[in-house]
Structure 1
Amino acid sequence: MFKLNRLKHSPLLFSFNGIVLIVLAQLLLGGLDTNTSTPRRVLSLKATVPVARLHPPGLEDTLSFSIVGDLMVGSSYPSTYYLPHFDSGTILQAALPVLQQTDLRIGNLESCVSDSAPVYKSCGSNQCFAFRTPTRFAQWYKDAGFDYLNLANNHSYDFGLKGVNNTLDWLQANNIRTSGTTQHPTDSITVRNTRIGFVSFAPHSNCLNLNNDTIVREYIAELRTRFDLVVVFFHGGAEGASKMTTPKTKEIFFGQDRGNVRHFARLCVDAGADLIIGSGPHVVRGMEVYKEKLIAYSLGNFSTYHQFNLKYPLNIAPLLQVTITKEGKLLDNKIFSFKQEGEGIPKPDSAMTAFRTIRSLSVKDFGFTGVNEGTL
């Protein structure tokens, strides 16, 4: 049974007609999720609904996504010095108008969410890149409307099993889907009567193995039997400013097999996936359309605060909007260009660097000329 969020006291809102109007509005706008017993976010009557969510004639049978790469809005490890000023407000503020235009918002959560988990990662005498975002800062993801945050990456296990469980508990409490860890390999959501299954992969500890073709096929095939659409997120490929080209072979980074991401992504489509989103290199890479399905090989860093190298081109921060049919066929894509400023705050980029770079890489690496510009 669905529950409505508490509304301001008003005799009109508690009348029978008022309740009917609220329920009808939620059904029309996709605010109620029929796939879970947990109530989804419910819009108040005063909320502003972006035009893009109204699905004008001809677009009723489509779904739209806002997608970003790596997210890490601050870490309390090794010191609270690495956190932004909380009272200044969410560092995602500049992206909110674009994020709110679509049916769903998804990204890669490049940290655990915990207030107390002890560090598990061993870094020896080197600087330890282990990220632990306190729950009150993680609330910014909820406030931004994220519906799905990927955990198949090389930082979800920085604080061991306690960090993973704290993160899963926080995501569940805030009704944000996730996938990719052995504790929570898949997830799902229903939007406007379309059932979407999520699964994600990475070549890292406690993750579904990106390099195991059998595992990849089996998970996608199983989701394909239960859902209308299957979305795959992956964290793979070598890292750094020189890794913007997507190679045709496997990538080795500091001795670790980071996968042949071209092979992996096309394998996912062949197995039944409808949308493939990549992260991991910390720089953007090109996109391609394979069998009418979009593959974005890396969306780079979007909001990675303080401890990340954000020199160009690692500061390029695209926000990708994708529109697909309810059968998974790509209809449209737009790259909105942001760049990270200061310690890692995404701000609009008038030079359109993200769009221009991804378009160039898409043509060079895949012969794909269909990358479109989003206007901020």
Structure 2
Amino acid sequence: MFKSHAFLFIFIGVFGLLGGIAARFSNEFSFAFQNSLSSSLQANILSIERQSNEIKDRLAAENPTSLIFVGDIMLGRDVEKSINKKEGDWNFIFSKSADFLQTADLVFGNLEGPISSHGKNQGSIYSFRFNPLVAPALKSAGFNVISLANNHILDWGGEALADTISILKENSINSVGAGLNREKANSPVIKKINGTEVAFFAFTNLYPEGLEASQNNPGVSSFDLEKIKEEIKNLKQSGRADIVIISLHWGEEYKKEANDFQKQIARSLVNSGTDILIGHHPHVVEEVEKYGNSWIAYSLGNFVFDQDFSKETMEGLALKVTIKNKKIINAETLKVKINNDFQPEIFIPAYQ
């Protein structure tokens, strides 16, 4: 009797143990299977999403994308006086050009000074600083990317530069060509426009000692030609950019033709992968040329400026570029005239 009960207890114990092992194995197998299924499903979902995004980008890239580039924008001195006569309505300055600018997918210009109420005048012979209310007006006019790489952006020091970057950002405008340190100053702005990755750089070789950004100090981007060309190649080869645009603040003031240095630099950058090169600073129009499959505008002249001492400084060019399937398919120049209230007006057809 005792032996039979002992045997029964042993049998029940072993059966229970085996059942427990089986249940645990079943749970672990089920968990592993679910994990495997979940990972596989997740991978498939990610793959489908990636393929879907690629298709969307490809279809979007088939739609024409238009970019408009304009010249130097100076919103102080007599320009501000003109605005004050209009009860401080900064939209007035762009009222004759905004409708055209807003037809583009992106508008780019060069801002000749900081936007700030702060800072210390650094003592330049011409020292510019603009009312913070100009930023909403720039946004309303259609501007998306602004170059700060010029010889006036630090006219009121690093604090005013920091304000400029922040104020533009608050108004959904990207700034390029200057920053709070070297890394930020040299970094491109990359925007996806209708499925096309467009990279913007801005540089100047016209700055006094101390204006270039350092590791811990604000300033403009570093004009190092070999490093710039290497960065362009890296962006193109990595697929981070389909179109590369470079803005250069350079050349000689009031000269109507680009000098040999400008031509050498521009063509070297194009040979390294630059698709569009835009020049600023001379305050007058210089030539526009197609070089290979790329476009070079050596100087677009003025867009908003109070230099009313000559016909040439009260005129400029707008360059309109059309992109389709991630390639430039057209570029045209449009004449800009600045009236006595310093409002730019864009005329069609352009002169070549």
TM-score (norm: length of structure 1): 0.67
- Which position in structure 2 is the counterpart of 1:341? 339
Equivalent residues of 1:73, 1:91 under 8 A apart: no
How large is the RMSD of aligned CA atoms in angstroms?
A: 2.6
- Kindly provide the amino acid, as one letter, of the partner of residue 87 in structure 1: D
CA distance in structure 2 between the aligned counterparts of 1:216 and 1:162, rounded to whole angstroms: 27
In structure 2, do the counterparts of structure 1 residues 58 and 289 end up closer, same or farther at CA, with 3 Å as the change threshold? farther
Question: Residues 247-262 of structure 1 correspond to what in structure 2 (within 5 A)?
Answer: 247-248=259-260, 260-262=261-263
Question: Residues 279-298 of structure 1 correspond to what in structure 2 (within 5 A)?
Answer: 279-298=280-299
The alignment-based identity, stated in percent, is 28
Cα shift at 1:272: 1.4
In structure 2, do the counterparts of structure 1 residues 82 and 347 end up closer, same or farther at CA, with 3 Å as the change threshold? closer
Q: Give the structure with the higher percent helix.
A: 2
- Which position in structure 2 is the counterpart of 1:264? 265
SS of corresponding position for 1:94: coil
Cα shift at 1:82: 7.5
1:208 aligns with 2:221: yes
Aligned residues: 275
Equivalent residues of 2:112, 2:153 under 8 A apart: yes
Counterpart of 2:177 (choices 158, 161, 180) is 180
- Kindly provide the amino acid, as one letter, of the partner of residue 338 in structure 2: Q
CA distance in structure 2 between the aligned counterparts of 1:177 and 1:147, rounded to whole angstroms: 6
SS of corresponding position for 1:156: coil
Cα shift at 1:96: 1.2
Larger Rg computed on CA atoms: 2
- Which position in structure 2 is the counterpart of 1:327? 326
Question: Unaligned stretches of 5+ in structure 2?
Answer: 1-52, 54-58, 213-219
Equivalent residues of 2:318, 2:346 under 8 A apart: no
Counterpart of 1:65 (choices 64, 67, 71) is 67
In structure 2, do the counterparts of structure 1 residues 237 and 268 end up closer, same or farther at CA, with 3 Å as the change threshold? same
- Which position in structure 1 is the counterpart of 2:128? 131
- Which position in structure 2 is the counterpart of 1:366? none
TM-score (norm: length of structure 2): 0.71
Equivalent residues of 1:76, 1:132 under 8 A apart: no
Cα shift at 1:58: 12
CA distance in structure 2 between the aligned counterparts of 1:288 and 1:76, rounded to whole angstroms: 33
- Which position in structure 2 is the counterpart of 1:164? 161
SS of corresponding position for 2:71: strand
In structure 2, do the counterparts of structure 1 residues 147 and 96 end up closer, same or farther at CA, with 3 Å as the change threshold? same
Question: Residues 7-22 of structure 1 correspond to what in structure 2 (within 5 A)?
Answer: none
SS of corresponding position for 1:201: strand
CA distance in structure 1 between the aligned counterparts of 2:65 and 2:174, rounded to whole angstroms: 17
SS of corresponding position for 1:158: coil
SS of corresponding position for 1:119: coil
Equivalent residues of 1:76, 1:134 under 8 A apart: no
CA distance in structure 1 between the aligned counterparts of 2:90 and 2:175, rounded to whole angstroms: 28
CA deviations over 1:261-297 (Å, ceiling 9, x no partner): 1111112212212111111110001111112111111
